[in-house]
Structure 1
């Protein structure tokens, strides 16, 4: 009953949600998960757009993306804050991408600004045309109906996601203090629906709203599905296929 209260607008799409990892957590910018994302496009030199909204369009973050991807993709950055050197480009440019990669930061700020600029409808259309959607941390949270976020300082449940994917999201499962404990508490009390949690260096692969598999670029980093049973939260481990 609790989960039925969350509005779902599942998108026909391939979506990869990173709990952490990728180029932004790699010293040299190399990432097996990022390699996997490029392979998913099925294109030798795909068009890849980075959306750094959640970080306030951090210039350093965007430069790290460019350094990691420019040698093997046609790269672009969508800056809703009109940051130099990118300025403002209409979000409709996302309809011409093979991969859209969303960065981390504030989930709440990302959602608010995206809605003002019409990104949810554009991204849904892009996904329907075959664009792969991906994101890390806040870029994981945004696709779900609900999420665990520190957008308001302390960790709290946010029930205002896009709903491209069902249930809740929890990134950085073991990488940040209290993520796991707070998630269990919120699921047990009904503040969060059934939630998919991914640790750093783990990603969940979705197609048309269904979980296909969990993939990892380092050992001993788990993925979980956490659901309510009575007044308890029950964790179900999701097997993680280690990339090589």
Structure 2
């Protein structure tokens, strides 16, 4: 039987962090000696500099994996479904969540990713690459941060990245929960990562003390907002 469906949400990684702790944690989840890791830079418009960063990080000496890149802006003749299902990790980059979802649907990649998820391929991503897996999110795809209820729905509810580092997104999230525009939300700090298995939270890790995942919901009475943090196990400690 394939592994249980899993999604890892990353608040950092190769594009932002001065260390490899969060990306090493992602690779360790596969259990493979040399995992195949495919980067999907769709949300950035397949930005060349972003792709270069990924390739430099995952092809670096000592990083035992097989990196590749899937471009939809410069799509080649490979069979999309076969290529995606052959990966151990599908790593989605940040950028514009709304554009990412629209392009994936145009190419039929949304259905392929759903199949990969249920076949045990580890899905993961940062920012837009984490938002996309939920039913809804808080995004700046159209300007100031606002709710977007158009995700793939592999994970229930809503998500917000950069919770501790972007005040406008932080406030937009709490306002949306308070007025009912969003259901209960998972909000991830930069420097933390979270693993969901079969739709349920399994583990929270961090590359620094005080980073974690927050559950934010509207209170049943009074219309206030309740926040429950789960602080990440700090990686690299023995």
Whether these two folds match at TM > 0.5 is: yes
Root-mean-square deviation (CA, aligned residues, Å) is 1.4
SS of match in other structure, 2:90: strand
Q: Does 1:24 align with 2:19?
A: no
Q: CA deviation at 1:228?
A: 1.1
Instruction: Indicate which of 194, 211, 216 corresponds to 1:204.
Output: 194
**Distance across 1 between alignment mates of 2:66 and 2:194:** 25
Q: Please list, as runs of the form range in 1=range in 2, the aligned pairs for 1:120-199 lying within 5 A after superposition.
A: 120-199=110-189
Contact 1:145-1:160 at 8 Å conserved across structures? yes
1:81 corresponding residue in structure 2: 73
User: Structure 1 pair 159/17, CA: closer, same or farther in 2 (3 Å)?
Assistant: same
Contact 2:210-2:232 at 8 Å conserved across structures? no
Deviations 1:145-173 (A, max 9, x none): 10010000111100011000011000000
Contact 2:144-2:168 at 8 Å conserved across structures? no
> TM (normalized to structure 1)?
0.89
**Distance across 2 between alignment mates of 1:22 and 1:68:** 10
SS of match in other structure, 2:27: helix
Q: CA deviation at 1:13?
A: 1.2
Deviations 1:48-81 (A, max 9, x none): 1000000000111011111111242111100000
SS of match in other structure, 2:15: helix
Contact 1:21-1:31 at 8 Å conserved across structures? no
2:41 corresponding residue in structure 1: 52
1:6 corresponding residue in structure 2: none
Gap regions ≥5 residues in structure 1 = 1-11
Deviating beyond 3 angstroms after TM superposition, the runs of 4 or more aligned structure 1 residues are 87-90
Question: How many residues align structurally?
Answer: 227
Structure number with greater CO (CA < 8 Å, separation at least 6) is: 1
1:69 corresponding residue in structure 2: 58
Q: CA deviation at 1:174?
A: 1.3
User: Structure 1 pair 49/102, CA: closer, same or farther in 2 (3 Å)?
Assistant: same
1:242 corresponding residue in structure 2: 234
**Distance across 2 between alignment mates of 1:232 and 1:78:** 43
Gap regions ≥5 residues in structure 2 = none
